[in-house]
Amino acid sequence: MEKFSELGYSIFEQATGDYHQTDRIEATIQNPYGEGSIAHRLYLKNWIDAVQWHLEDVIRDPNIAAEDALTIKRKIDKSNQERTDLVEQIDDYFLEQYRDVKVLPDATINTESPAWAIDRLSILALKIYHILREVERMDATPEHVERCKGKLLVLLEQKKDLSFALDQLLDDIKAGRKYMKTYKQMKMYNDPSLNPVLYVKK
């Protein structure tokens, strides 16, 4: 039986590859999975991460105009909100999956929910993709390539460890050894009623 980390990572690789077919921040997503499915959410999650990855690259251009930087910062803020919303939707999926599990008396809670581990796995897929491109760069120095090969080994080890930990967490939740709690986002800076810069001006 395929482990969830394997399913998730394969979809992340697919989305990362599809994004880089055009490598354009403005490209329209063509999500191949049925809306409402977990696969659809995972594909969308990685696509959002890929777009934000490149927005973060662009905004670090030392010659970027201030107006352009502000526009990109607004896009990054919007992307962060969409990312957080989607992580919560993925956790809702797991809450529904395991809602009938009988929690054991000595069950413990994990430091992060399954969806936040999945969030890290999605980012890791992007890191591995981009470091591989650096390893394969024809114009790079041998020293640069060797450094990137070293980073790649670390990233691959991290992928192995994170995948194992995610699958173990899901197994523990399914068996009642751990239980889930979700804390809906507390991002105050996006809330006009909580950010003083916004509500004072009103």
- Return the ∠ at Cα 24 (arms to 19 and 26), rounded to 5°: 105
| Whether the Cβ atoms of residue 46 and residue 122 lie closer than 8 Å to each other | yes
Supply the pLDDT for residue 17.
Answer: 98
User: pLDDT per residue over 40-89, tens digit each?
Assistant: 999 999 999 999 999 999 999 999 999 999 999 999 999 999 999 999 99
| Whether the Cβ atoms of residue 153 and residue 161 lie closer than 8 Å to each other | no
Closest CA to 126 of 159, 173, 80, 92: 159
Strand 178-179 to strand 108-109: parallel, antiparallel, or no bridges (unpaired)?
parallel
pLDDT band at 189 (very low <50, low <70, confident <90, very high): low
Q: Does pLDDT of 201 surpass 80?
A: no
Supply the pLDDT for residue 11.
Answer: 98
| Whether the Cβ atoms of residue 41 and residue 90 lie closer than 8 Å to each other | yes
H or E element: which one contains 178?
A: strand 178-179
User: pLDDT per residue over 123-157, tens digit each?
Assistant: 999 999 999 999 999 999 999 999 999 999 999 99
* Residue appearing with tokens 């239980």: 179
Mean pLDDT of all residues in 92-114:
96
- Nearest-angstrom CA–CA distance, 44 and 198: 30
- Nearest-angstrom CA–CA distance, 147 and 155: 13
For residue 5, what are its two tokens? 């980390």
Q: How far is CA 28 from the centre of its chain?
A: 19
DSSP state of 2: -
Closest CA to 107 of 175, 14, 195, 20: 175
CB proximity list for 94: less than 8 A, separation 6 or greater: 113, 114, 115, 170, 173, 180
pTM score, whole prediction:
0.91
Q: Does pLDDT of 175 surpass 90?
A: yes
Q: Does pLDDT of 202 surpass 60?
A: no
